[in-house]
Structure 1
Amino acid sequence: MADKPLQNQRKFDSRLRHSNQPHLPGQPAEGIPTTIHRRIGFLLLEHFSMMAFTGAVDAIVTANLVSGKPLYSFETYSLEGSTVRSDLAINISVDGDLRSIPVKTLDVLIVCGGYRSKLEPARPTVEKLREAARHRVMLGGLWNGSYLLAHAGLLDGYACTVHPDSRAGLEEVCPQVKLLAQPFVIDRDRISSAGANSALSMMLAVIRNHHGEEVVRGVEEILSCDRTLDDLPDLPMTALADDPTLPAALSTVLQLMKNNIEEPLSIDDLAQHAQVSRRQIDRMFQRYMNTTPARYYLETRITRARRLLQQTNEPITSIAIACGFSGAPHFSRCYREFFGVSPSQVGARRRRP
């Protein structure tokens, strides 16, 4: 199947733009905002859940990577001292203590608790949280962090969630809080997650509210590659072809494209293997992939080439052939049109100390 010149088009049309976005030049992908920057503070309690904390942070750091712009920044704080001990017995250095939390300039303040974290906040903690609320800072809790917010009276009339082990105490002490048995809850300017796994999901929901679906899809493309539909460890990692919302014929074509990169099949051959007409394939790609079959096939191959360039020391000619291009000059031209740099420049960056 012959490739046509891209005529200086650098934009990925299909969902492959999500995984390629951090490597593209110029402006972020269409639909991703560039000017909004939010500042998030994490108040780490002693024995806080490291997994819950890193899940939340991973979401916002990856959102920055996907957007190509700093959508978020974050700082960490302790109740006192320069370090906090996590539930893994690892001491984490923080940016400041409770007194230094800049509530006037924060957009979000999240209390990170853990299975062994103390749930009786001292008066300075309560006062700092109430000060943040007065400045209309979004408040949140990870694991049992929302227990402290409730104790400060900042969840009265709000819905929230908490780790099951802390549920009974919260129901008894703060009956005015609407406690839900859900992995995470977002109620206006209050957010909460019940455990380690749901912290990532909660932050993705926050990012979706702030910046839309496009950013979240990009984050999920990077962070959710090992999540299966049934969450079973022995199932293969899901790919776009496994998306249950896609028609079976389209999934077949996507899998064929993925399996035939070095010697690309013609669109007619793909239609024959999938037992559909060429016209049906065109319609499915326009509806579900927002592009043509030929364009998507090229994007699949150029994405594969980008990964090989960044992760191996193979010669450019070998990579070009392995990805179905007729030769190194044609491949180099296509690569530059997508990524703004030549394949040789990518190799030079890899070798640079």
Structure 2
Amino acid sequence: MKKVSYILADGFAPTSFSLSMEALAVANDLSAEECYSYNILSVSETQSTARSYNHISVQVEGSFRLASQSDAIIICAYQNAALYKNPAFSSFLRQQARIGKTIAALSGGSFLLAHAGLLNTKRCSLAGEYAQLFKELHPNISVLADVFTIESNILTCAGGLSALDMMIYLIRQDFGKALSQKVSDRFLYEKFRSPEETRNSQRYLSLRMQSAYLGQAVELMEKNIDTPLDIETLAFQVGTTARNLELVFKKYLNKTPNAYYREARLNHAYQMIVETRLPITVIAQASGFASSSYFSKCFAKLYGLQPTNIRKSEM
């Protein structure tokens, strides 16, 4: 059984807190044996209650120091999180991180992790309305527009429904895919959203806001990497002409559809080269290039190195 400690800061967001805790309760309900136990603690060493940003008081069982006995820590903060500084709590978090404990942050909890120095050279997610402030206070920490972000044993999420995504991910890591899927089904959650899927979804939406044809075309390109569509077919499927699609791509991306498509396929190939040991010829075909020599020529033009040189540098 895994023990989880929720550590609440005044001004926390009750939705993400409740959803994340409910996910653990549902996991217990769906299992033959209890999977999780949890307690509710305070970032303060003196408070007996924590108050949410909408004035809901929650009784706590003690201070954050009790979390030393847990397998995972979940920090709940939102309103005024940027102002919260507690050297004792920051020191405690650093100590727990050093021993490899899972530490997760909901909504504005990333501010508390940043204060503790746990996000240095890392990326994070947090509530969108605080993203700009976070960037100004911590310019060396990358803020991602993802529902949640995983950096080794540190997880951060944007709050709201993203708390459920993150908890389903943790349940999957702890007890497997079958249980996490059952939890997802109980919440009538059609599909677990991975950070990459959400990132792409938001990117497609951003492109569609520039031009409906652009967003649809890019999404189709990236779903047809191994068997590329010709531009006429692509234009037909998004409801425009090849000529108009050319104009849209040049206006918003400063390149032709063919150039963008080729670059997307080469980016896909690059990832396969560094992440797999598949032969270069197989990777070329999986990226929509019938000729290995043409693939190598295009790859070298974009990256300045042959595919085999990239692989050697990664070994």
> Do they fold alike, i.e. is TM over 0.5?
yes
Aligned-pair distance for 1:110? Answer: 1.4
2:41 is aligned with 1:41: no
**1:38·1:107 contact (CA, 8 Å) conserved in 2?**
yes
Aligned-pair distance for 1:89? Answer: 1.1
2:56 is aligned with 1:56: no
Q: TM-score normalized by structure 2?
A: 0.56
Q: Which amino acid aligns with 2:59?
A: S
In the TM superposition, 1:320-331 aligns within 5 A as: none
Aligned-pair distance for 1:174? Answer: 2.4
Matched position secondary structure for 1:87: coil
Other-structure match for 2:69: 105
Tell me how far apart the structure 2 counterparts of residues 116 and 169 of structure 1 sit (CA, whole Å): 11
Aligned-pair distance for 1:46? Answer: 0.3
Aligned-pair distance for 1:103? Answer: 4.3
Render the CA deviation track for 1:105-147: whole Å, top value 9, x for unaligned: 2211111012344533121221121122123211111001011
Render the CA deviation track for 1:40-79: whole Å, top value 9, x for unaligned: 1111010211110011101111111111212111111112
In the TM superposition, 1:19-98 aligns within 5 A as: 37-80=1-44, 81-98=47-64
How many residues align structurally?
A: 189
Greater radius of gyration (CA): 1
Tell me how far apart the structure 2 counterparts of residues 108 and 119 of structure 1 sit (CA, whole Å): 24
Aligned-pair distance for 1:173? Answer: 2.7
2:124 is aligned with 1:124: no
**1:115·1:143 contact (CA, 8 Å) conserved in 2?**
no
Structure 1: which 4+ aligned runs deviate by more than 6 Å? none
Q: Which amino acid aligns with 1:91?
A: S
Aligned-pair distance for 1:88? Answer: 2.6
In 2 relative to 1, CA 119–205 (structure 1 residues): closer, same or farther, beyond 3 Å?
farther
Tell me how far apart the structure 1 counterparts of residues 55 and 67 of structure 2 sit (CA, whole Å): 29
Aligned-pair distance for 1:163? Answer: 1.0
Q: Which amino acid aligns with 2:146?
A: Q
Q: TM-score normalized by structure 1?
A: 0.51
Which of 156, 159, 168 is equivalent to 1:195?
159
Unaligned runs of 5+ residues in structure 2 are 192-315
Aligned-pair distance for 1:215? Answer: 0.3
In the TM superposition, 1:126-145 aligns within 5 A as: 126-145=90-109
Other-structure match for 2:195: none
Q: Which amino acid aligns with 1:76?
A: I
Other-structure match for 2:124: 160
**2:28·2:35 contact (CA, 8 Å) conserved in 1?**
yes
In 2 relative to 1, CA 160–67 (structure 1 residues): closer, same or farther, beyond 3 Å?
same
Other-structure match for 1:149: 113
**2:97·2:153 contact (CA, 8 Å) conserved in 1?**
no
Tell me how far apart the structure 2 counterparts of residues 204 and 83 of structure 1 sit (CA, whole Å): 28
Q: Which amino acid aligns with 1:83?
A: T
Render the CA deviation track for 1:75-99: whole Å, top value 9, x for unaligned: 111123111111231110011123x
In 2 relative to 1, CA 47–178 (structure 1 residues): closer, same or farther, beyond 3 Å?
same
Q: Which amino acid aligns with 1:196?
A: G
Other-structure match for 1:266: none
Render the CA deviation track for 1:247-286: whole Å, top value 9, x for unaligned: xxxxxxxxxxxxxxxxxxxxxxxxxxxxxxxxxxxxxxxx
Tell me how far apart the structure 2 counterparts of residues 209 and 177 of structure 1 sit (CA, whole Å): 26
Taking CA–CA contacts closer than 8 Å with sequence separation of 6 or more, which of the two structures ends up with the larger relative contact order? 1
In the TM superposition, 1:219-298 aligns within 5 A as: 219-224=183-188
